[in-house]
Structure 1
Amino acid sequence: MRITKEQVDDAAAPASGYKIYWDDTIKGFGLQVTSAGVKSFVIQYRVSGKSRRMTLGKYGKLTAEQARKDAKKKTGEIVQGIDPLIAKRKTEVQSITLDAALTDYCANNNKLKDATKKEMRGNLTWGSKDWLKKPLTAITGDMVLHRHKHLGERSHAQANAWGRYLRAIFNRAMAEHKAQDGTSIIKVNPVYMLTLKGAWYEIKRKQTVIPAHQLGAWWQAVDGLPNPAAQAYLRLLMLTGLRREEGLGLKWADVDLITGTLTVRDTKNHEDHALPMGRYLHSMFSGMPRYGEFVFCNAHGERLSNLRYVLRKVRTDSGVAFTPHDLRRGFASAGARLVTEYELKKLMNHKRKDDVTQGYVIFDTMALKEPMQRIEDFFLKAAGVVPGAEIVPMQRAAE
């Protein structure tokens, strides 16, 4: 049988499975017909003693004559020692764009939070929007080096983040897309050039906290906010050391006024984080209206989100330049002098992989109530909310 349009049109479908009609003139070239009547052109060949079958295309998208030409071409490649399946796979991988690789990375990384996915796309669009439609294989080390330097003129931290995100995407693509022999089709991660050239920017960890003598002015400025939810939110961050998004995501279902505890579900280390409340926080939560599932929302049930106005007003009214993470650092600084190291780690949900001892130290949430109260009392007294005690300058503590 010579596979022609007429022969393809006349080829009968089997009762079940599939049937292959082989061409008499091109070795290994055939027409595969399934029981559903789907017709595809295939080529079968041997490489290193192993038989392989490759689909050239479906009939309709590919004519019989086009399939014959492609089969002849593939047969010639096989004679030269080229495996058509590997060549096809390489061609497919070489066409994967940065945008497609980013989408794949986010879709298949179960540990990646939605906020991180959003940050990755935003950062890579900020730093390399003109690269999103480029194939990964078209991005070179020199391109990365020059772009990183250019981005660094705007922000060292953002440029480094761009490099880390790009590196992660390439690492996944290199691990995911491999040839039949197990080697990566994408041979080099171009971001390695930043390490090779020592081009990563040195970013010093911030050490800023609100000084104890400014806590009163800060607290009064928070009192002056027109939005009660924003007031309560900032106080929560100061008195618990929660991260910005952890606080915003707190739900009423996770606030237990009977036991005096709250539980954060979406944490950085992907584990639930239960905390005891101090007396002030317990009273604050008890008096708050419940407009929706989230604790910090308006009367319409809309969660607090845009903090720019809130933070700007508090900074202006208090004269204290601060960020939400400064409140977390302040909690850590106060806790470093008021509670034990392991109590503080537990309160802040810190874990160190190299700290074997902490694996044997188990703290019940209620056992942390007294340490938490000590830290809360410090801030309330320093801010003048309750009568109090000597103001001691806080020592800076790295998180």
Structure 2
Amino acid sequence: MQVVFADWQNKAMLDIGKDMISKRHSKIGTKRGEAYANLSMRFLRALFNFASAQYEDGSGHAILRENPVMHLTQTRAWYRVDRRQTVIKPHQLASWYQAVLSLKQDKVTNQSALVADYLLFLLFTGLRRQEAATVKWEDIDLNDRFFTLTDTKNREPLTPPLTDFISDLLRSRKAATDSEYVFAGDGKAGYLIEPRRQVQKVTELSSVSFTLHDLRRTFITVAESIDISAYALKRLVNHKMTNDVTAGYIFNDVERLRKSMEQISAQLLRYFEINEEKKILKFPVHQNT
């Protein structure tokens, strides 16, 4: 609302018509990209749907009789955006890893070192970026080596195990922060939002172009390449298995998933081309200011 609909925030919803929707959708697509335009309009559509269900007139009828965003569907105006299928390929992971570690050498700010750990955490857990960014220290058990997510995309809680690599990373991270969030940010939210500058730096140093969600796809791709059980993989990345009757009879607890998680971690370390005993490099600890 504050970015592409800033001038509409004080406008009555009844005054937003179909033609306005079409023009704004086209404008966003030109300036910010077609995928962003579709995403913006899906948000606005949900807002209108909520208002239509929530607010009634004196006769009990919805004040908003129609959703103007549906005009994009009726006129087939939605942009066709193919789903991304990009991953970091195995032969690219070594240079990518070295570029990520180079962020820890930043003498100007400790935020770059934090982003380096965040990127590795995403790759080694397969979490969605928001899920990882909002993890708090209270959600992590470093003794029994697992953590818990309650606010997930599909609203189902997730309790994945912590591998040796990630456990070591988190212990080092905990010594460098006093925030309630594992990956603290500088903004009002308190957690890391969008580390564009550091991602761009890694891309420049490694010549590997990637998005944060590519790290999740890479985790899944590596897991499939070493024949991790489909049930274990779906549980690790918190994909629903509602259409699979067999899955309903399989109980996946933390310890049963630990072996699969360690296998994925070991494969990633092999791609990094580093020795197991050198998997975590030590850098000076910068205290938050």
TM over 0.5, yes or no? Answer: yes
1:340 to 226, 229, 249: 229
Identify the range of structure 1 (248-257 vs 173-182) with the bigger mean alpha-carbon deviation: 173-182
Map residues 1-399 of structure 1 onto 2, 5 A cutoff: 121-122=1-2, 125-126=3-4, 128-154=5-31, 155-225=33-103, 226=105, 227-288=112-173, 289-292=175-178, 293-297=180-184, 304-305=192-193, 307-338=195-226, 339-386=228-275
Q: Which residue of 1 is the match for residue 281 of structure 2?
A: none
Give the distance between the partners of 2:116 and 2:79, measured in 1 at CA: 37
Q: Which secondary structure does the structure 1 equivalent of 2:199 belong to?
A: helix
Identify the range of structure 1 (206-215 vs 220-229) with the bigger mean alpha-carbon deviation: 220-229
| Alpha-carbon displacement from aligned partner over 1:124-174 (angstroms, at most 9, x marks no partner) | x41x33333332222222221232223222211121122212211221222
| Alpha-carbon displacement from aligned partner over 1:250-306 (angstroms, at most 9, x marks no partner) | 2222222221212234322234321112222223333441522222359xxx75555
> Which structure ranks higher in relative contact order (CA pairs < 8 Å, sequence separation ≥ 6)?
2
Q: Which secondary structure does the structure 1 equivalent of 2:153 belong to?
A: coil
For 1:296, the aligned partner's letter is F
Q: Which secondary structure does the structure 1 equivalent of 2:123 belong to?
A: helix
Larger Rg, first or second structure (1 or 2): 1
Shift of 1:336: 2.0
Give the distance between the partners of 1:285 and 1:151, measured in 2 at CA: 40
CA 1:170/1:269 → structure 2, altered by over 3 Å: closer, same or farther?
A: same
Give the distance between the partners of 1:346 and 1:162, measured in 2 at CA: 30
CA 1:192/1:360 → structure 2, altered by over 3 Å: closer, same or farther?
A: same
Shift of 1:316: 1.2
Give the distance between the partners of 1:303 and 1:156, measured in 2 at CA: 28
Gaps of 5+ in 1: 1-120, 388-399
Q: Which residue of 1 is the match for residue 280 of structure 2?
A: none
Give the distance between the partners of 1:159 and 1:305, measured in 2 at CA: 20
User: What is the RMSD of the two structures over their aligned residues, measured on CA atoms?
Assistant: 2.2
CA 1:195/1:347 → structure 2, altered by over 3 Å: closer, same or farther?
A: same
Give the distance between the partners of 2:23 and 2:115, measured in 1 at CA: 42
Relative to the length of structure 1, the TM-score reads 0.61
| Alpha-carbon displacement from aligned partner over 1:199-237 (angstroms, at most 9, x marks no partner) | 111111111111100100011111111343232221111
CA 1:189/1:334 → structure 2, altered by over 3 Å: closer, same or farther?
A: same
CA 1:215/1:172 → structure 2, altered by over 3 Å: closer, same or farther?
A: same
Give the distance between the partners of 1:349 and 1:161, measured in 2 at CA: 23
Q: Which secondary structure does the structure 2 equivalent of 1:330 belong to?
A: helix
The percentage of counterpart residues that share the same residue type is 38
| Alpha-carbon displacement from aligned partner over 1:308-350 (angstroms, at most 9, x marks no partner) | 2221221111111111111111001112233111111110011
For 1:329, the aligned partner's letter is R
Give the distance between the partners of 1:159 and 1:269, measured in 2 at CA: 24
CA 1:163/1:368 → structure 2, altered by over 3 Å: closer, same or farther?
A: same
More strand by share: 1
For 1:348, the aligned partner's letter is V
Q: Which residue of 2 is the match for residue 14 of structure 1?
A: none
CA contact (8 A) 1:241 1:332 kept: yes
For 2:248, the aligned partner's letter is G
4+ runs of 1 displaced by more than 6 Å? Answer: none
CA 1:273/1:146 → structure 2, altered by over 3 Å: closer, same or farther?
A: same
For 2:143, the aligned partner's letter is I
| Alpha-carbon displacement from aligned partner over 1:103-138 (angstroms, at most 9, x marks no partner) | xxxxxxxxxxxxxxxxxx23xx41x33333332222
CA contact (8 A) 1:262 1:275 kept: yes
CA contact (8 A) 2:234 2:241 kept: no
CA contact (8 A) 1:229 1:304 kept: no
Give the distance between the partners of 1:254 and 1:175, measured in 2 at CA: 36
Give the distance between the partners of 2:154 and 2:142, measured in 1 at CA: 25
Give the distance between the partners of 1:264 and 1:366, measured in 2 at CA: 17
Give the distance between the partners of 1:242 and 1:224, measured in 2 at CA: 23
Gaps of 5+ in 2: 106-111, 277-289
Q: Which secondary structure does the structure 2 equivalent of 1:159 belong to?
A: helix
